[in-house]
Amino acid sequence: MVDTTELTAAVERFADRLRAAPQSRLTRGAAAEGLALARELALRAQRLEEPGAEPRIMPDAGVFAVADQLVVAGNDLAEILRTAPPGPAAAELDEAVEAVRRAAAKAAL
Protein backbone atom coordinates (compact mmCIF):
# COMPACT_ATOMS: atom_id res chain seq x y z
CA MET A 1 0.00 0.00 0.00
CA VAL A 2 1.14 3.49 -0.87
CA ASP A 3 0.79 6.36 1.61
CA THR A 4 -1.11 9.07 -0.26
CA THR A 5 -1.25 11.58 2.60
CA GLU A 6 1.02 14.03 0.79
CA LEU A 7 -1.25 14.05 -2.28
CA THR A 8 -4.48 14.51 -0.36
CA ALA A 9 -2.93 17.24 1.80
CA ALA A 10 -1.62 19.13 -1.24
CA VAL A 11 -5.00 18.86 -2.98
CA GLU A 12 -6.83 20.06 0.14
CA ARG A 13 -4.49 23.05 0.53
CA PHE A 14 -4.98 24.12 -3.08
CA ALA A 15 -8.75 23.58 -2.87
CA ASP A 16 -8.93 25.66 0.33
CA ARG A 17 -7.07 28.47 -1.39
CA LEU A 18 -9.48 28.29 -4.32
CA ARG A 19 -12.47 28.41 -1.96
CA ALA A 20 -11.06 31.48 -0.22
CA ALA A 21 -10.15 33.33 -3.41
CA PRO A 22 -12.30 36.23 -4.59
CA GLN A 23 -14.29 35.79 -7.78
CA SER A 24 -12.01 38.21 -9.61
CA ARG A 25 -8.97 36.02 -8.90
CA LEU A 26 -10.85 32.87 -9.87
CA THR A 27 -11.94 34.32 -13.20
CA ARG A 28 -8.43 35.62 -13.95
CA GLY A 29 -7.11 32.10 -14.15
CA ALA A 30 -7.01 30.43 -10.75
CA ALA A 31 -10.19 28.46 -11.42
CA ALA A 32 -8.92 27.42 -14.85
CA GLU A 33 -5.73 26.08 -13.23
CA GLY A 34 -7.78 24.20 -10.65
CA LEU A 35 -10.03 22.69 -13.31
CA ALA A 36 -7.09 21.69 -15.49
CA LEU A 37 -5.52 19.97 -12.50
CA ALA A 38 -8.77 18.25 -11.54
CA ARG A 39 -9.09 16.96 -15.10
CA GLU A 40 -5.50 15.74 -15.09
CA LEU A 41 -5.92 13.90 -11.78
CA ALA A 42 -9.20 12.38 -12.97
CA LEU A 43 -7.55 11.15 -16.17
CA ARG A 44 -4.69 9.64 -14.18
CA ALA A 45 -7.19 7.81 -11.98
CA GLN A 46 -9.14 6.57 -14.99
CA ARG A 47 -5.99 5.26 -16.72
CA LEU A 48 -5.08 3.28 -13.60
CA GLU A 49 -8.57 2.03 -12.87
CA GLU A 50 -9.69 1.31 -16.44
CA PRO A 51 -6.63 0.90 -18.69
CA GLY A 52 -7.54 1.19 -22.36
CA ALA A 53 -10.97 2.70 -21.72
CA GLU A 54 -12.00 5.93 -23.41
CA PRO A 55 -11.25 8.74 -20.93
CA ARG A 56 -14.09 10.88 -19.66
CA ILE A 57 -13.41 14.59 -19.32
CA MET A 58 -14.54 16.31 -16.14
CA PRO A 59 -17.04 19.04 -17.07
CA ASP A 60 -16.58 22.69 -16.26
CA ALA A 61 -19.08 23.28 -13.44
CA GLY A 62 -18.07 26.90 -12.90
CA VAL A 63 -15.52 28.83 -10.91
CA PHE A 64 -17.23 28.23 -7.58
CA ALA A 65 -17.33 24.43 -8.01
CA VAL A 66 -13.75 23.88 -9.11
CA ALA A 67 -12.38 23.40 -5.57
CA ASP A 68 -14.86 20.58 -4.95
CA GLN A 69 -14.08 19.04 -8.34
CA LEU A 70 -10.39 19.13 -7.45
CA VAL A 71 -10.97 17.40 -4.12
CA VAL A 72 -13.08 14.67 -5.71
CA ALA A 73 -10.51 13.99 -8.43
CA GLY A 74 -7.61 14.08 -5.98
CA ASN A 75 -9.30 11.74 -3.52
CA ASP A 76 -10.27 9.32 -6.31
CA LEU A 77 -6.68 9.15 -7.50
CA ALA A 78 -5.39 8.80 -3.94
CA GLU A 79 -7.71 5.87 -3.25
CA ILE A 80 -6.68 4.08 -6.44
CA LEU A 81 -3.00 4.63 -5.65
CA ARG A 82 -3.48 3.55 -2.04
CA THR A 83 -4.62 0.12 -3.17
CA ALA A 84 -2.27 -0.26 -6.17
CA PRO A 85 0.98 -2.22 -6.14
CA PRO A 86 3.73 -0.01 -4.67
CA GLY A 87 6.19 0.11 -7.61
CA PRO A 88 4.34 2.02 -10.32
CA ALA A 89 2.00 3.67 -7.81
CA ALA A 90 4.88 5.44 -6.06
CA ALA A 91 6.04 7.06 -9.31
CA GLU A 92 2.48 8.04 -10.21
CA LEU A 93 2.02 9.50 -6.73
CA ASP A 94 5.18 11.61 -7.03
CA GLU A 95 4.06 12.92 -10.43
CA ALA A 96 0.60 13.77 -9.11
CA VAL A 97 1.96 15.65 -6.09
CA GLU A 98 4.29 17.62 -8.36
CA ALA A 99 1.36 18.43 -10.69
CA VAL A 100 -0.58 19.82 -7.72
CA ARG A 101 2.38 21.96 -6.66
CA ARG A 102 2.88 23.32 -10.19
CA ALA A 103 -0.81 24.16 -10.61
CA ALA A 104 -1.01 25.85 -7.21
CA ALA A 105 2.05 27.96 -8.00
CA LYS A 106 0.70 28.86 -11.42
CA ALA A 107 -2.65 29.87 -9.93
CA ALA A 108 -0.74 32.28 -7.69
CA LEU A 109 -3.17 32.18 -4.78
Residue 98: pLDDT band (50, 70, 90) is very high
Q: Are 14 and 70 in contact (CB under 8 A)?
A: yes
Are the C-beta atoms of residues 93 and 4 closer than 8 Å to each other? yes
Mean model confidence pLDDT for the chain: 95
Alpha-carbon dihedral sign for residues 68, 70, 76, 81: negative
pTM, 2 dp: 0.94
What are the residue ranges spanned by the domains of the chain? 5-107
pLDDT at 90: 86
